[in-house]
Amino acid sequence: MSLPATSSDGFWSDTGKTGIASWIFSTDHKRIGLLYLYSVLGFFLVGVLLGVLLRLELMAPGRTIMGPQTYNATFTVHGVVMIFLFIIPSIPASFGNLVMPIQIGARDVAFPRLNLFSWWLYVIGAVIVLTALFTGGGPPDTGWTFYVPFSAKTGTNVSLAVLGVFVLGFSSILTGINFVTTIHRLRAEGMTWGRLPLFVWSLYATAWVQILATPIIAITLVLVFVERVVGTGLFDPSRGGDPIMFQHLFWIYSHPAVYIMILPAMGVISEIIPVFSRKPIFGYKMIAFSSLAIAAAGSVVWGHHMYTSGMSDTAILVFSFLTFIVAIPSAIKVFNWVSTLYKGSISLEAPMLFALSFVLLFSIGGLSGLVLGAAATDIHVHDTHFVVGHFHYVMFGGTGFAFFGALHYWLPKFYGRRYAEKPALVAWALMFVGFNIMYFTMQVLGIRGMPRRYYDYLPEFARLNLVATIGSWILVLGLIILLVNLFRGLFRGEAVGANPWGGATLEWSIPTPPPTENFEEDPVVTHGPYDFKGAGKP
């Protein structure tokens, strides 16, 4: 990693170690944040490549570029990489580490060495998952959900893959423990709970989900592993086991995991929108509270993934009802963001454009989620491309776009240089258009009955599939422009001062790039995070 031109400043230079060791053995939360950032970005690109290949295969009916077995492996690995290696650690582990300690006025997280260990576990887990692709019976072909009985029987290397995911889960747990303890214990003087930036609130809620839900997937994957190795029969009906219990355990984690993915993104949006509207956030308390409410409500709705599994009708009724409750805190957030915009002095710069498209795309994804949350309609579109379109709207249109917004919003602070605005706008426009062409078309295909996870389809779906594939090219073109412009700018772009956007949270009050210990003196906080009266115009 080459240093930026301003590398004589801040945390870039001030270190006891040299070279690569000053990074991979650093306990500085900012360096660990950047390690995470580059790791997750790398895996994101791997996931994108696999996604593009999937779309290419589906461009025309019949075999286009790969056969069925390769297709099964490709969508499995696309899912595993995107979920466990990119999106779960994406915003919390990278920007959470970079920004959160500064935002609460701390010099580092509560357990800096544990933080480094957590990154190493991430790397080890990633290596194990990647090893699983090339060893044993070949890459897993179960889908990222590892459903039994297939995952217990398939000859592909599921054993090693679940072991890797287990290690990744441990890494995620340690980050969660670190963040909760940090937010409880290391807030600066005057940084009361009511003055925490909303990004910190969202990370706090996320960290709780990481702590309480991740162990369940850990034990579930251990059981799959044990099942494959010694055959305990816990999920095998011929020996009294119940495969639906696997689905319960799996979704007890994996549904709350959806909120591990989206909550930090909502936090990013809650930071960007007030800054670029030059207006205090509307409904601070309700946004903070709704983060906790989403985490809590999100933990009791896992059954809505199982309407067609053979679960009891009573459970379907209860889980369907509970699912609608999640819509309330989610809508609270959306309405508060929109109210913040009202009569604001809005400046449409790149971070803001990503934030605004988040609100739109997340709303589309959320509303299509209601179609799936209602048992009556879900049964018709279950396991179709409607579901694929839905979760890409929420995960990519939501978390992905928030992640790009965060890249543009916060990275200049840490590099001391910024991207060029115009190419960023072009990149955003291409991505927004390509995204909608691709995933909206998928939802239409799903409604018309095209199932997911098949490498082939009926001829009547051919035209729309071609449209979706073309959308994927536009999206990827925009993504390439975005990344080239962003990183060119960070290393060679225009220099920025301490507070390029005029933000009022603590990270904008310290020099750019931040010094190793963040604050010369422990700060004393006297105003709220969105009190712009004190902050200068950009």
Partner 1 sequence: MSHPEHKDYTGAKFGMWLFLFTELLLFGGLFILYATYLTRYPQQFAAGGKELNVVFGTANTVILLTSSLFAAMAVTSVQKGDRTTTLRLLGLTVLCAAIFMVNKYFEWSAKIHHGIYPGSPRLGSAPLGESVFFGLYYVTTGLHGLHVLVGAGLLSWIGMKVNHGKIHQGDFVTLENGALYWHLVDLVWIFIFPLYYLIL
Partner 2 sequence: MSTEAAHHILSYRKLTAIWGALLVLTALTVLITRAELGALKVWAALAIASVKSGLVIAFFMHMKYESRPFRIILFVALVTLAIFIGFTFFDVLYR
Q: Does residue number 28 form part of the binding site for partner 1 (CB under 8 A)?
A: no
Rounded-to-integer distance, Cα 252 and Cα 258, Å? 11
Q: How far is the CB of 380 from partner 2 (least distance, A)?
A: 22
Nearer to partner 2, 260 or 535 (CB): 260
Whose Cβ is closer to partner 2: residue 41's or residue 311's? 311
Burial class of 239 by CB neighbour count within 10 A (0 to 12, 13 to 18, 19+): exposed
319 binds partner 2 (CB under 8 A): yes
We find the least distance from the C-beta atom of residue 110 to partner 1, in angstroms, to be 5
Tell me whether residue 123 is exposed, middle or buried, using C-beta atoms within 10 angstroms of its C-beta: 0 to 12, 13 to 18, 19 or more: middle
**What is the phi/psi pair of residue 84, to 5°?**
-85, -30
Measure the CA dihedral 512/517/519/522, to 10°. Answer: 170
Q: How far is the CB of 399 from partner 2 (least distance, A)?
A: 24
Give SS3 for 521. Answer: coil
Q: CB-wise, 105 or 503, nearer to partner 2?
A: 105
- Whether 139 and 133 have beta carbons less than 8 Å apart is answered as yes
- 15 phi/psi in degrees, rounded to 5: -150, 150
Look at residue 105 and give the partner it binds from partner 2, partner 1, none, a contact being a CB closer than 5 to 8 Å depending on partner kind. Answer: partner 1
Query: Of partner 1, partner 2, none, which one does residue 49 interact with (CB within 5 to 8 Å by kind)?
Result: none
Q: Is 232 in the site for partner 2 (CB under 8 A)?
A: no
CA distance 479 to 484: 9
Contacts of 402 (CB under 8 A, 6+ apart): 91, 264, 265, 266, 268, 269, 354, 355, 358
Q: Which listed range, 115-123, 276-284, 297-305, 461-469, lies at the site for partner 2 (CB under 8 A)?
A: 297-305
Choose which of 65, 123, 245, 327 interacts with partner 1 (CB under 8 A).
245
Binding residue (CB under 8 A) for partner 2 from 81, 252, 297, 424: 252
Of the residues 41, 45, 211, 296, which one makes contact with partner 1 according to CB under 8 A: 211
Contact call for residue 400 and partner 1 (CB under 8 A): no
- Extract the tokens encoding 153: 């029987």
Residues in contact with 198: Cβ distance below 8 Å, sequence separation at least 6, in sequence order: 267, 270, 271, 281, 284, 287, 288, 291, 529
Q: Does 52 bind partner 1 (CB under 8 A)?
A: no
Q: Does residue 188 interact with partner 2 by CB under 8 A?
A: no
Residue 477 contacts partner 2 per CB under 8 A:
no
26 and 18 Cβ atoms separated by less than 8 Å: no
User: How far apart are CB 180 and partner 2 at their closest, in Å?
Assistant: 8
CB contact at 8 A, 268 and 405: yes
Binding site for partner 1 (CB under 8 A): 105-108, 110-111, 114, 173, 176-178, 180-181, 184-189, 211-216, 218-220, 222-223, 226, 230-234, 239-242, 245, 248-249, 252, 517, 522
Binding site for partner 2 (CB under 8 A): 184-185, 187, 208, 212, 216, 244, 248, 252, 299-300, 303, 310-315, 318-319
